[in-house]
Structures are given as structure tokens and as C-alpha cells.
């Protein structure tokens, strides 16, 4: 049995960084990966989708060229093979860079295979047993395939198999109107597919405020995406070459016929095939590993980081998990998960930047809430760019003057949101931002103006 100081299972967004830190501190580290180094973000999540979103943006801009006085002779064509090839080059560079960094690092051994616990201190990979006093689980998640009627009768795609698509689906049906479904939906519409998004809830991105959901629906419908809401009972069938999705919606045709089907209905953690019981690591009823505020599991000496602990579902939350574990173990810095502020972006165009509370959450928080809103049509930079869809909304506490949350839907707002996020981490009153001198013309320059317009709810 090979002995290590630490074993890391999975090379997602926390594992490799932790491996480098532990190895740098002189520990002998084993890293185990069963599939592609880099995990979801690098191979089938953030990196490839944002590369594809960029191609879709280029297609849209080319089609709008005349609005800007740019003349393109002939039709705008999309070469899906090249779209995919561009994405593949970006992904491969990231994956290969990480793989070789792990393979060449002093004190790190990279094992390829599926790891399972054999005991609280031992892990087995294809018959080989490794032992360590510290084990870190960073196994991530995979696309959820819900038991919908007919699901086994039809071919379907997930975010992973979408990565192999090098052709243009004639009509892409997407089940799921949240982040993944919306990004793929707008993207494929821009590539030229017909797209129908089917959502069970009465609105898209149901965790956001209603005005955000409505604005996003308007944005994608204006581009020709068909949105079917309230589809509480979806069933699937094959009819000739077509895939039929029967939808129990309150309005519209009772079925949608498409050429391809993408399931984007959520994720499930990769915790069902780790033999966690042999280590005494407990999961909750949804399969997420139970952890404390420093990401320690119910088994002493075993930590869980990233999507598998249910504390976040983003690359930045997984990376922050690494920072928390490393700070506690190596820096005597008692960082905790509860210190972080919710923040994320939705990469449709224009993007949604989100931080902190929604309006609905602020209303039920018991605080006196101030709110301010500004349409992107009143943001000079957006007008100049010809990208005026969306609006910016900020919420603040009337007593402490601290910002409670923001929903910024508009051009550049995946970046602009960081001005708010930094202020929140600094626990500074919002009027501090009103005393700054922002750069003109930017979207961010309107944040102080918007804060000056805050009014009681
Ligand atoms: C389509 C899509 C788009 C996304 N876009 C964004 C975005 O724009 N921004 C953002 O912040 N987040 C985004 N995410 C989410 C982000 O990808 C994840 O939150 C992030 O990858 C965190 O992953 P992780 O570290 O938990 O593990 P993962 O990245 O999922 O990696 C886990 C690794 O563990 C390996 N593994 C699993 N079980 C075992 C085992 N038993 N033995 C050995 N190895 C194992 C897996 O093969 C995998 O490589 C997106 C996700 C998807 C699906």
C-alpha cells in the first residue's frame, strides 16, 4: 500500500490548487482523476460554454453589422465544425496545462482511475490501495437525468455530450430554463437553430426576481427563442426522425417537435460511487456531503470541496473552498464558508451579474430596505455600444447603509457587479461609492448615480 500525507480525489476547481499548496508545504500528495483533468469547468462547463458564447456573440454582431454602418458582402454563415474546433483548442490548452503541471510537480503523483474509500484513511483505485492521514474529496457533479416519461425512448444531450456537437441542430428542444438551458438556448439560436426552452416553473430562472426573469424572457424571445412555461408534466417520445416533447402548459400547442433534445434540469453530486460509508462520511438526502463551516466532513481527517458539498455550484465557490481549507490547514487563518457573499453571473448576452439578496429575500429579511433601478437605455456606454437590453437594480439597508444585493442585467454587468461585491466585502456604506470618481464612459460610472436614487421599498 502506497502511503501519502494527503490524497485528493478529483481534479475539479479545488483539488489541483490544494495539491500544489500541500506539496509546496512539503507534503507527499496523491491526486486521483477518473476522467478528464480539470473536471467540469475546464472540459464541459465554464470554459467551453463561454468559448461557444463568444462565437455566438460574433455571429449576432455580424448579423447586426449594418446597424453599425459595417457592410458585409453576402450572407453570414456559421461553420459549426470551426466553432467547435475553436472551443476545443481553448479547452485543450487549459486541460493540458493543468495535466502537465500536476504530472511535473514535485511531491505530487497523479493517478488515473476511479477512487473509492476502503476505510477512513485509505482509498482504492483499480485494485491499488493508497493511504493518507488527510483525504480531500473534490468529485464535483454531473447532469441530472430526471425520470420523465419517455426519457428512455429518445436520444438526449447533456452539457457534456453537447461538447461533441459539430453540426447545427435543426430544432433544439431544451428542457430547463435556468442557467445552463438559457446559455445553450441563446447560443444555438444565434448559430441558427430553432430553439424551444421548456420550463416547469411559471418563469425562467425562478430563483431570481420576477422582473429579472421577465427581462431575460424578453431578451431571448426577441431573438426568436420559443419559451414554454408552466410545463409541469413533460413527456417525451420519438416520431420518425423527430423528438416530441409533450408539454402540459397553460397556453400554446400541447407538443413541441424537434430534432435534438438537451436536458438542462440540474446537477447531482458524484457521491454515489465513492463508498463513503466505509469512511464514515455522511451525505444529506440529496447526496451532498455534509460539511462544517471549514469543510470538514463527518469523518475526522476527510474534507469535501466544490460542488459535492452543496455549499456552492460554481467554479469560484469551489476555488474559495480550496482557499478556506488551505488557510485553516497551512496558514492558521480560520477562514469559513459562512464569510462568503453569494455572487454569480449568468452568461446570456447581455449577462446578469448577481450578488447578495434578491428583492424577494430583502423583503422578508425584516430590514428597512432601499431600492434603486435604472434601465440600460439610460446608460451612455450601453447606448454607444448599441446594447441597451436589461436594467440594473441595487438594494441597500436603510439603517446600516450597507448594500444588501444587486441584480445587474446588461452589457458588461458580469464585470460591473464586482464594484458592488468589493464594497460588500469591505462592509462599507454605499455612500462611499458616491464619493468616488468613476471613469467615463463605462457602465460602472452609473453605479453612484443609481445609489443616489435609492428610495424606500
Ligand atoms: C454547462 C456548465 C456551465 C458552467 N458555467 C459556469 C460558469 O460560467 N461559472 C462558474 O463559476 N461555474 C460554472 N459552472 C459550474 C462549474 O463548472 C462547477 O461549479 C465547477 O466545475 C466546480 O467543480 P468541482 O471542483 O466541484 O468539481 P468538478 O469540476 O466537477 O470536477 C470533479 C472531478 O472529479 C472527478 N471524479 C469524480 N468522481 C471521482 C472518483 N470517484 N474518482 C476519481 N475522480 C473522480 C471527475 O472526473 C471530475 O474531473 C458550469 C457548469 C456547467 C455544467
Q: Is this structure's pTM higher than 0.75?
A: yes
The predicted-structure confidence for 171-197, as pLDDT tens digits, reads as follows: 999 999 999 999 999 999 999 999 999
14 Cα–ligand 1 center, Å:
10
**Residues 145-160, mean pLDDT to the nearest whole number:** 96
* d(CA 114, ligand 1 centre) in Å: 16
In the sheet with 260-263, reading across from the earlier edge strand, the strands are 226-228, 194-198, 171-175, 260-263
In angstroms, the Cα distances linking 289 to 108, 237, 270, 282, 292 are 25, 36, 10, 6, 10
For ligand 1, what atom is nearest to the CA of residue 114?
42
Overall average pLDDT of the 118-147 stretch: 97
Cell of 457: 421599498
Closest approach atom of ligand 1 to CA 274: 41
Residues 380-398: what's their mean pLDDT? 98
How many Cβ atoms from other residues are within 10 Å of residue 25's Cβ? 15
**35 classed as catalytic:** no
Candidates 54, 139, 308: which one to mutate for ligand 1, based on the most atoms within 8 Å of Cβ?
Answer: 139
pLDDT tens-digit series, residues 80-114? 999 999 999 999 999 999 999 999 999 999 999 99
| Ligand 1 center from residue 138 Cα (angstroms) | 9
Question: What pLDDT sits at residue 252?
Answer: 80
Q: How confident is the model over 301-323, as a mean pLDDT?
A: 98
For ligand 1, atom 2, the nearest C-alpha belongs to 45
Tell how strand 352-356 and strand 343-346 pair up.
antiparallel
Please determine, for residue 383, whether its predicted confidence score (pLDDT) is greater than 80.
Answer: yes
Instruction: Give the mean model confidence (pLDDT) for residues 306-310.
Output: 98
404: nearest Cα among 356, 333, 341, 354: 356
Give the pLDDT score at 258.
98
**pLDDT band at residue 13 using 50, 70 and 90 as cut-offs:** very high
pLDDT category at 292 given cuts 50, 70, 90 is: very high
Q: What is the pLDDT of residue 250?
A: 72
For residue range 222-272, list pLDDT tens digits in order.
999 999 999 988 999 999 999 999 997 777 888 999 999 999 999 999 999
3 state DSSP class of 402: strand
**List 114, 207, 440, 455, catalytic entry:** 440
- Residue from 8, 14, 44, 46 whose mutation best tests the ligand 1 pocket (most atoms within 8 A of CB): 46
Residue 151 contacts residue 145 (beta carbons within 8 Å): yes
Position 248 scores a pLDDT of 78
**Distance from the alpha carbon of residue 276 to the mean position of ligand 1, in angstroms:** 19
* pLDDT of amino acid 205: 98
Amino acid at each position: 500500500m502506497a502511503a501519502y500525507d494527503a490524497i485528493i480525489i478529483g481534479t475539479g476547481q479545488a483539488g489541483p490548487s490544494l495539491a500544489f499548496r500541500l506539496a509546496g508545504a512539503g507534503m507527499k500528495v496523491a491526486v486521483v482523476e477518473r476522467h478528464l483533468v480539470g473536471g467540469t469547468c475546464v472540459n464541459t462547463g465554464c470554459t467551453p460554454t463561454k468559448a461557444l458564447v463568444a462565437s455566438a456573440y460574433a455571429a449576432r454582431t455580424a448579423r447586426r453589422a449594418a446597424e453599425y454602418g459595417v457592410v458585409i458582402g453576402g450572407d453570414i454563415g456559421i461553420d459549426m465544425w470551426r466553432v467547435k474546433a475553436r472551443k476545443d483548442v481553448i479547452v485543450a490548452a487549459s486541460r493540458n496545462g493543468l495535466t502537465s503541471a500536476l504530472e511535473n510537480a514535485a511531491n505530487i503523483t497523479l493517478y488515473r482511475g476511479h477512487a473509492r474509500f476502503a476505510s477512513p484513511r485509505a482509498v482504492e483505485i483499480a485494485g491499488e490501495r493508497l493511504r493518507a492521514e488527510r483525504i480531500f474529496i473534490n468529485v464535483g457533479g454531473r447532469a441530472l437525468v430526471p425520470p420523465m416519461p419517455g426519457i428512455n425512448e429518445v436520444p438526449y444531450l447533456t452539457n457534456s455530450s453537447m461538447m461533441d456537437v459539430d453540426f447545427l441542430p435543426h430544432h433544439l428542444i431544451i428542457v430547463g430554463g435556468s442557467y445552463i438551458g438559457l446559455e445553450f438556448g441563446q447560443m444555438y439560436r444565434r448559430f441558427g437553430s430553432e430553439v424551444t426552452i421548456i420550463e416547469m416553473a411559471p418563469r425562467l430562472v425562478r430563483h431570481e426576481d420576477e422582473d429579472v426573469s421577465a427581462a431575460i424572457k424578453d431578451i431571448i424571445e426577441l431573438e426568436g427563442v420559443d419559451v414554454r412555461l408552466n410545463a409541469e408534466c413533460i413527456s417525451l417520445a420519438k416520431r420518425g426522425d423527430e423528438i416530441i416533447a409533450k408539454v402540459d402548459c397553460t397556453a400554446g400547442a400541447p407538443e413541441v417537435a424537434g430534432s435534438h433534445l438537451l436536458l438542462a434540469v440540474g446537477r447531482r453530486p458524484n457521491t454515489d460511487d465513492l463508498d463513503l460509508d466505509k469512511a464514515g462520511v455522511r451525505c444529506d438526502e440529496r447526496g451532498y456531503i455534509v460539511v462544517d463551516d471549514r469543510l470538514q466532513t463527518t469523518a475526522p481527517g476527510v474534507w469535501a470541496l466544490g460542488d459535492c458539498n452543496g455549499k456552492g455550484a460554481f467554479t469560484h465557490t469551489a476555488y474559495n473552498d480550496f482557499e478556506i481549507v488551505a488557510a485553516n490547514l497551512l496558514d492558521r487563518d480560520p477562514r469559513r464558508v459562512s464569510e462568503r457573499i453569494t455572487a454569480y453571473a449568468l452568461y446570456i448576452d447581455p449577462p446578469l451579474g448577481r450578488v447578495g439578496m434578491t428583492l424577494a429575500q430583502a423583503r422578508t429579511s425584516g430590514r428597512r430596505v432601499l431600492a434603486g433601478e435604472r434601465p440600460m437605455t439610460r446608460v451612455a456606454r450601453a447606448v454607444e455600444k448599441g446594447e441597451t437590453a436589461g436594467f440594473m437594480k441595487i438594494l441597500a439597508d436603510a439603517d446600516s447603509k450597507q448594500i444588501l444585493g444587486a441584480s445587474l442585467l446588461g452589457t458588461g454587468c458580469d464585470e460591473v457587479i464586482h464594484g458592488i461585491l468589493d464594497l460588500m466585502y469591505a462592509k462599507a456604506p454605499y455612500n462611499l461609492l458616491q464619493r468616488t470618481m468613476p471613469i467615463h464612459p463605462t457602465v460602472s460610472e452609473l453605479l453612484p448615480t443609481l445609489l443616489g436614487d435609492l428610495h424606500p421599498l
